[in-house]
Structures are given as C-alpha cells and as structure tokens.
Amino acid sequence: MALPGVHVEPIDLFNGVARSELDLLLREDHDGGLVGALEYDAELFDDGTARALAADYLAVLDAMARRPDDRISTLLPALRKDLP
C-alpha cells in the first residue's frame, strides 16, 4: 500500500494462539493469486485434521473454478467420493 508521507510495512501478528476454533485467512498476493493460513485450536483439532480440512476446502474451490456454472450441491457428491 502506498500513502503519501506514510511508511507501511507488514508485520506478523500471529502469537501462537488461535483466536477462535478455526480461522481461514486468505489474501491476494502480488501476482493476483491467493495465499492463506489456517489457524486452529490445537485442543480441538490435530494437525492432520486441520490439513485435511484445508485440502477439502481447496478441492471445493478447484471444482468450483473448473465448473463455475454448476451448483455446489452437484459438485459435492463427486468430491466426497474422492475424499478419504
């Protein structure tokens, strides 16, 4: 971000503690892609479960991008059979 007379730089605000049970943070990068982070409460989710949730979310987004005219409800059955 550029503001006249103002110096702006990003800082990492993550302090090692999830602010809620499950947070998905997404932002656009400088190339127009998306970057993100998944924060989760380690008392509720283990690392494998959190990674599986993120992978499932990415699968849904991918299916939506490939078939933008389809309803999500028609995409989900095909995705579920591919999920563990």
Please list the pLDDT of the chain residue by residue as tens digits (84 residues): 566 777 767 766 666 666 778 888 888 888 888 888 888 888 899 999 998 888 888 888 888 888 899 888 887 776 666 555
Q: Computed from CA positions of residues 19, 12, 2, 32, in that sequence, does the dihedral angle turn out positive or negative? A: negative
Distance CA 73, CA 79 (A): 10
